[in-house]
Every structure is written in structure tokens, then in C-alpha cells.
Amino acid sequence: MSVNLALLNQNLKIEISLMEQFLGVLINEQSVLLSNDIDGLERILQVKSELLNQLSVASNHRLSALGEVGLPQQNSSMTLLMAQSSNPSIEQSWQQLINIGTQAEEINRNNSLIVNRLFAKNQNSLAFLQGKDANLIYGPDGHNTTHLTLRTIKG
């Protein structure tokens, strides 16, 4: 079992390294989104996709290692493993992976909000340029006025 635990811990270290890289990409993605750098976003999305594939493979290796020590191949088995083996290195690595994953999840959620705001802004700009908000007219003071208001003033 100790050989399998060593392999599991090695897999966790790889997964941590990949997750740290992924966290860095998410932070860069946020900067690129805020600066409206479309070309930079394309590059980041490619790197992000590659890292997600690598993370998936690393996660599968961890789950296989759990199976080799006789545990179900699911994330919740890590808790069972730590209770059975009391291996501080694995516990520390697992907690580090969870912490990085939590940070990545939060930054990804923020990036999603930024994307949604940019999308709404672009949709509104496009609608305006296409004349879909034709009832909107700006008065001499710079405030918007609708046709209805202008008719009452003229009328």
C-alpha cells in the first residue's frame, strides 16, 4: 500500500502544479477581459483548454490510484484514504489542491461575470447601431427623451 500511496502523492503534486498553472491562466484571463484584448483572449483560451485536458488526465490518474488501494474511484474517497492511512503528506497535498481549486473557482466565476457584462454591453451597442432602440432620442441637455415626450412638448 505504501508504494501506491507514494504514487498517489506524486499524482497529487502533478495535479497541484497543473492547478497552479490554471489559476495563473484565470488571473491572466481576467486582465485580458478587462482590457478587451481579443487576440490575447484567444491565446488564453487555447492554453486554458490544454490545461483542462491535462487536469482531467491527472485527476483520472489520482482516481485510478485510489482504486489500486481498494477505494472507490471518486473524490470523496480521499477523505476515506486520509482516515485510513494518516499520511500527512497526502493530507497536505489534498488540502493544497482543494484550496487552489477554490481560488480558481472564484476567479472563474468573476471572469464569467465580466464576460456577461461585456456581452450585454456589446448587445446594447449593437442594438443601438441597428436602430432597434429607435424611440430613444437625446435632447439638447444630453438626456434621453422618447418620441412620446417630444410629441407632448411639440403638441
Tens of pLDDT, residue by residue over 123-148, are: 877 777 777 654 556 556 666 655 44
Report the distance separating Cα 94 and Cα 78, nearest Å.
8
pLDDT in tens, 68-78: 888 899 999 99
Closest CA to 18 of 44, 50, 55: 55
* CA angle (47, 102, 80) in 5-degree steps: 110
Contact 8, 90 (CB under 8 A): yes
What local confidence, expressed as pLDDT, does residue 61 receive?
A: 92
pTM: 0.76
Domain count, the chain: 1
What local confidence, expressed as pLDDT, does residue 56 receive?
A: 96
CA dihedral for 75, 78, 81, 87, sign (positive or negative): positive
Burial of 2: CB neighbours in 10 Å, binned 0-12, 13-18, 19+:
exposed
Contact 40, 32 (CB under 8 A): yes
Q: Give the bridge partners for 146, in sequence order.
A: 136
Average pLDDT in the chain: 85
For residue 110, give the C-alpha cell.
Answer: 468573476
CA dihedral for 46, 10, 63, 102, sign (positive or negative): negative
Domain extent at residue 31 = 2-154
CATH of the domain at 124: 1.20.58.300
- Which single residue is written with the C-alpha cell 477581459? 33
